[in-house]
Structure 1
Amino acid sequence: MNDAALSAEHYAQMAAAIRYLRAQQAQQPSLAEVAAQVGLSEFHFQRLFSRWVGVSPKRFLQFLTKERAKASLKASQSLLEASFSAGLSGPGRLHDLLVTCEAMSPGEIKAQGAGLTIGFGAACSPFGAVLLAWTARGLCHLAFFDDDGALAQAELQRLWPQAQMCAEQGAAQAYAMRIFAPAGHRQPLNLLLRGSNFQLQVWQALLATQPGQVLGYAQLASLAGKPKAARAVGSALAANTLGFLIPCHRVIRETGEVGQFRWGSERKELMQGWEAAHTICDKRSAE
């Protein structure tokens, strides 16, 4: 089994574990119970989960509770105010990875990729298999998939029908290693965004948030400078084709529910828990 297939299998097992943990939150299931649900020994499950997430399943469960989500939403209000006062309503830091964004012009978007050469390839990530695509100006696509990747690749082709596509697996894996590298080993990354002015405002506002932070749709609308456009924010999130890098997984419902996600609610929760756990670990390492 190759790395991408193994990664997809492991992600499926982690997603199943998260579904079980979510359903059994009140009972606080033991390690043995969760391991049995995904068909692994306790030892193997503990190792796999800790490698994937960075903390134990029991600790991870604490990051997924609704009450914690509600508390995080309240805490986010002061963080958002701090972001405004610091002038961080535009592109900012993501995982200590300095992200530089460049927007395509309306003419370039209308051309549907004509004259562009786009490199692409599948790679492994902490959240399963991922399809990456890039131009000379930066990454333009990051989509997760759970099958053989054919549908993900078809979507990429649909978004850029006039572009010349060039498969480069080695480069894709190199990009993945940069994106998901441990703290202290991350390198600057350029993103090429295609969207309306409103969508760009929403995505740039998301880049001003911090790893481990969650916020509601109304909070994001305010951060984007459109406080009355909370409903339209959802459409902008759905149009995001740079998963994880444009961190729409940080947006939850005001009730504390995780809400919908283009690449699956289990993956969204895994990202939230992974960020929260790694943020704590990074702080401890810095002390």
Structure 2
Amino acid sequence: MNTQSQLNYDRIAKAIGYIRENFREQPNLEEVAGQVHLSPFHFQRMFKEWAGVTPKKFLQYISVEHAKQVLRDKNTTLFDAAYDTGLSGTGRLHDLFVNIESMTPGEYKNGGEKLMIHYSFAQSPFGDILVASTPKGICHMAFADNETEAFAALTKNFPNAQFKQMTDMFQQNALHIFTHNQDETDRIKLHLKGTEFQLKVWEALLRVPMGQLSTYGNIAREIGNDKGSRAVGTAIGSNPVAFLIPCHRVIQSTGTIGGYRWGNNRKTAIIGWEAARTDITL
């Protein structure tokens, strides 16, 4: 991400953090703009360019009451109604175009031995990203606030693999999700290392529609393990593919946004950004 883009995102992330922490007071435009040292006019323009909606509308999207409403209205039909939600374009459901293939037991056990992994750094609306792929598909995608640390996390997951910094078609296709109409995106292939339980949880996450939210309990019930919320939470926390596997769409049953391995402000930003693009009626 270039310096200006990174500065703009940092300001937006800070503003979102302020909104998230103070939504009960419904801060006005001047108050939020002051937190990032911009005039209300320039802040509103910058924010709308990034999110597609005004800060005021975004505040509605990320409030706890909105989260509760989404869960209340969609709780019983979150998955069953996925195909008649009327979403199109960037609201298209993940499970229509993301396919998971698990690594073989040998690849899993041997830490990626004999795997050639390509990796590259790219920009996203939510900061820089490290994306990596094997000859079968995307194996890792993570927000990379620090490139050295992000690459170290990748190599830790595949200690015996070979790595080459280059961009391939798997990566380019996956990154189109941020900038292109998903109807024009080829089917995205993931090649993941995980236990049978983890893969089942990640597949359930793919069925949560863009612009909607679920809870740990709902995901547990979806995979037939009503009492497995804690285990589900652990599996969600170990998701190796940021954004494509939408762990950011899982929140607490109270409507609280909850934790996110790449930062709570970023999670809040993604939820609001997706809600804006699917134009949920509050």
Same fold judged by TM-score > 0.5? yes
1:200 partner amino acid: L
CA RMSD of aligned residues (A): 2.4
Q: Is the alpha carbon distance of 1:49 and 1:67 closer, same or farther for their aligned partners in structure 2, counting shifts above 3 Å?
A: same
Deviation at 1:8, TM superposition (A): 3.2
Distance 1:97 1:82, change over 3 A: closer
Q: Deviations over 1:152-175 (max 9, x none)?
A: 010001111111111115869734
1:75 matches 2:73: yes
CA distance in 2, matches of 1:119, 1:191: 14
Partner Cα separation in structure 2 for residue 40 and residue 107 of structure 1: 54
Are 2:4 and 1:21 equivalent residues in the alignment? no
Secondary structure of 1:79's partner? coil
Q: Which residue of 1 aligns with 2:9?
A: 11
Number of aligned residue pairs: give it.
273
Q: Which moved more, 1:96-105 or 1:160-169?
A: 96-105
Matched, 1:164 2:162: yes
Map residues 111-122 of structure 1 onto 2, 5 A cutoff.
111-122=110-121
**2:181 is the counterpart of 1:179:** no
1:36 is matched with which residue: 12, 29, 34?
34
Moved more, 178-187 or 47-56: 178-187
- Give yes or no for the alignment of 1:270 onto 2:269: yes
Q: Which runs of 5+ in 1 are unaligned?
A: 87-92
- Distance in structure 2 (CA, Å) of the matches to 1:225 and 1:96: 19
CA distance in 1, matches of 2:265, 2:201: 23
Contact 1:121 1:171 in 2 (8 A): no
2:244 corresponds to 1:245: yes
Kindly provide the amino acid, as one letter, of the partner of residue 198 in structure 1: F
Contact 1:4 1:129 in 2 (8 A): no
Q: 2: distance between equivalents of 1:84 and 1:186?
A: 19
Alpha-carbon displacement from aligned partner over 1:166-204 (angstroms, at most 9, x marks no partner): 111586973464121233443321111211111111000
Aligned residue for 1:139, secondary structure, equals strand
Farther off after superposition, 266-275 or 68-77: 68-77
Q: How far apart, in 1, do the equivalents of 2:83 and 2:13 lie?
A: 38
Deviation at 1:269, TM superposition (A): 0.7
Instruction: Measure, in 1, the Cα distance between the counterparts of 2:188 and 2:246.
Output: 15
Aligned AA (1:49): F
Once the two structures are superposed, what CA deviation does each residue of 1:180-235 show, in whole Å capped at 9, x if it has no partner?
A: 12334433211112111111110000111100111111101011222221111110
Of the three residues 154, 159, 163, the one matched with 2:152 is 154
How far, CA to CA, are the matches of 1:159 and 1:55 in structure 2?
Answer: 38
Offset from partner CA, 1:48-85 (integer Å, 9 cap, x none)? 21222121110000011111111111223232351699
Task: State the match for 2:260 in structure 1.
Answer: 261
TM-score by length of 1: 0.87
Q: Does the 8 Å contact 1:217/1:251 carry over to 2?
A: yes
Q: Any unmatched runs of 5+ in structure 2?
A: 85-91
Q: How many angstroms does 1:115 deviate by?
A: 1.0
Report which stretch shifted further, 228-237 or 8-17.
Answer: 8-17
The 3-state SS of whatever aligns with 2:118 is: strand
Quote the residue 1:203 is aligned against.
202
Q: Is the 8 A contact 1:116 1:163 kept in 2?
A: yes
Q: Is the 8 A contact 1:125 1:176 kept in 2?
A: no
2:89 corresponds in structure 1 to none
Partners of 1:38 and 1:215 in 2: CA distance: 31
Secondary structure of the 1:82 match is coil
Question: Are 2:174 and 2:188, in contact at CA under 8 Å, matched by a contact in 1?
Answer: no
Query: What is the letter of the counterpart of residue 73 of structure 2?
Result: A
Distance change in 2, residues 1:245/1:25 (3 Å): same
> Does 2:43 match 1:54?
no
CA distance in 2, matches of 1:193, 1:74: 33
